[in-house]
Chains A and B, each alone.
Chain A
Amino acid sequence: MSEDAPMDIDYVANLARIELSDEEKTTYQRQLGDVLKYFEKLQELEVDGVEPTAHAFPRHNVWDQDESKQGFSASEALKNAPQSRQDQVVVPKVIEE
């Protein structure tokens, strides 16, 4: 699989929202190619009719009591924000002028 379709490192880096240097791209392209080759074992496996396991001991319909609880104040919630003003996180403009 990895041979016919090598990982498109720019595409994946964009999906993961991680900026990579050219040097990193070359290294990861090679290393992840090796890892994917190692994963080929999985492609040979017979899994028809096998149910997938997402959790070892799944629990369903876990509800909490519907009651109000004390949360963080704005100043507590913003303590770790890299930039904040007037009780809000500051971010670059997302709407074009």
Chain B
Amino acid sequence: MSQDSPIFKTATELSADLTAGKISSVELTQAMIERVEKVDEKVHAFLHLDQEDALAQAKASDERRSKGECLSPLDGIPVGLKDVISVKDQPLTAASKILENYRSPYDATVTVKLKQAGAVIAGRLNLDEFAMGSSTENSAYGPTRNPWDLERVPGGSSGGSSAAVAAREVPLSLGSDTGGSIRQPASLCGVVGMKPTYGMVSRYGLAAFASSLDQIGPFSTTVEDAALLLETISGHDPLDSTSFPKEIPSYSGELKKPAQPGVIGLPKEFFGPGMDDEVRARVEQTIEHYRSLGYQTKEVSLPSTDLSIPVYYVIATAEASSNLARYDGIRYTSRSNRAQNAIDVYAKSRGEGFGSEVKRRCLLGAYGLSSGYYDAYYLRAQKARTLIRQDFERVFKEVDAVLTPTAPTPAFKFGEKSEDPISMYLSDIFTISTNLAGLPGISVPCGFTRSGLPVGMQLIGQAFEESSLLNIAHAYDRDHLHGRQAPNL
């Protein structure tokens, strides 16, 4: 396929082409559908694509545009959604068997915002069941494959969202991030992925995993596109009591203003042993580039970092065991036909409907909350969470952003970690503390290994300072644009 094909363009370029009349939304959406038909057999990023519905949205966009009623820069541009975000009358499986036949009765707030912006909502993307995992191997509908090496995982849990953008099936997608589920797959697939500050994006209509940690965020090939999608989905929502009443600036507009190079913190705990040599080398080159742009770098310390994995798994599993109690075989999930009484309906439907990682986490969460263990696990973890948060508060008195690798290794092979929960949990070691502290984080592609696997760096910003974080990320990205390199498929 020619590199001039619309599927290789960024959303920002496509927006300009739509405005200039060089392409219509129907043509663009048709090109996207053809790309999915060509490559998704190999990648398996999509769980569902309603072609007729996508083309109808595209046609409506073209009609609006011809009347001069274009709604936003995203009008007519396809956006894929992780299969945990509700779109009225569309399926939502959360990659679980228990929601096999479910259809959303309402739109998530991010869906409403995308519709108001005129975006073409195109397809449901694969994930680890209920967003629990780091490889997309936990999907009940089969794994997604990394477009850069089909023998390797795309990361997770939003592996379908990252792979779909990397494979150029959609220019933009949304994922959700509870402990790194946007940033880690973005890193492993060589695209941009951002988790906003907790409370910036409404969680209404997102199938909950761990409510105090979950945030929806964008995937794209450039930081510029991430800014465009983030400003579209952000903002206070009365339907989510944890959403924050903040004015949302035009992040993409802010990127065009010249930014003063600031101070970047390098936490020594994140550069210790256990990191792949090539990841270390790429990240060090990135740091050099920032220095060449006039940024100061400074070693900082986040001493509670080694607590982040145990704290996260106690808190996230506790919240998950409560949140997933709703999948009970009564109101809207499949029901076991072996059930004889009410308790049976719960236990048998859940036993049949949940996959092994979801069961493991519900059991762990129920244990951590149970009588006699609550103080030792859950309460203690919440106190340790305070220490992790305070580490960042201290560091942000001295620096504008913190730079780390996104993941300790490039994409790993299928089966490599799936039998060992702890080794899988450790692949989120660099991303988890950001969620515990509620801070925004972005993964930006920073090159490739010798064998051609993408590497990502992570920038962590101050709470509600998305604009500054995007500016720092953009300063590197616009000079390299690693995310614009497409894999051969």
> Which residues from chain A sit less than 8 Å from chain B, CB to CB?
1, 7, 9, 11-20, 24, 27-28, 31-32, 34-36, 38-39, 41-43, 45, 47, 50-57, 59, 62, 64, 72, 76-77, 79-83, 89, 91-94
Contacts and interface: CB of A to CB of B under 8 A. Distances in A.
A50 B99 CA distance: 40
A53 B348 contact: no
B332 interface: yes
Contacts of B347: 13-14, 17-19
Contacts of A81: 330-332
Given A39-B377, A82-B334, A89-B331, 4 more contacts: A41-B306, A47-B380, A52-B383, A92-B341
Contacts of A77: 105
Nearest to A40: B310
Nearest to B324: A16
A62 to B, nearest CB: 4
B310 A91 contact: no
A42 B386 contact: no
B389 A35 contact: no
A31 B421 contact: yes
Interface in B413-431: 421-422
Given A18-B350, A80-B331, A57 B463 contact: yes
B433 to A, nearest CB: 11
Nearest to A1: B376
A35 B359 contact: no
Interface in B317-358: 321, 325, 328-335, 339-348, 350-352, 354, 356
Interface in B430-448: 436-439
A87 to B, nearest CB: 13
B307 A45 contact: yes
Interface in B143-174: none
Contacts of A27: 356
Contacts of A56: 198-199, 212, 389, 436-439, 463
Contact of A76 (B105, B310, B341, B360): B105
Given A59-B241, A77-B105, A92-B339, A32 B364 contact: yes
A42 B363 contact: no
A9 B360 CA distance: 11
Nearest to A61: B241
Contact of B363 (A12, A57, A64, A83): A12
Contacts of A14: 347
A72 B332 CA distance: 14
Nearest to B348: A19
Main SS at interface, chain B: helix
A94 B341 CA distance: 7
B290 interface: no
Contacts of A28: 359-360, 363
A55 B203 CA distance: 14
* Chain A contact surface mostly: loop
A27 B357 CA distance: 12
The 6 A-B pairs of least Cβ separation, nearest first, read A56-B438, A19-B351, A52-B382, A80-B332, A82-B335, A47-B383
B359 A24 contact: yes
B362 A42 contact: no
B221 to A, nearest CB: 29
Given A39-B313, A50-B383, A54-B212, A18 B362 contact: yes
A13 B235 CA distance: 40
A32 B367 contact: yes
A67 to B, nearest CB: 12
B380 A45 contact: yes
Nearest to B334: A82
B360 A32 contact: yes
23 contacts: A1-B376, A9-B363, A18-B362, A19-B351, A32-B363, A34-B422, A39-B377, A41-B306, A41-B310, A42-B380, A45-B384, A47-B380, A50-B386, A54-B382, A56-B199, A56-B436, A59-B241, A79-B103, A80-B333, A82-B330, A82-B334, A83-B335, A92-B345
A57 B334 contact: no
B107 to A, nearest CB: 13
B388 to A, nearest CB: 8
Interface string B298-322: 0000000011011101100000010
B71 interface: no
A40 to B, nearest CB: 8
A93 to B, nearest CB: 8
Contacts of A12: 363, 366-367, 370
A1 B367 CA distance: 13
A36 B307 CA distance: 14
Contact of A57 (B244, B335, B341, B387): B244
A54 B383 CA distance: 9
Contacts of A59: 199, 241-242, 244
B199 A53 contact: no
Given A47-B383, A94-B341, A39 B321 contact: no
A76 B88 CA distance: 11
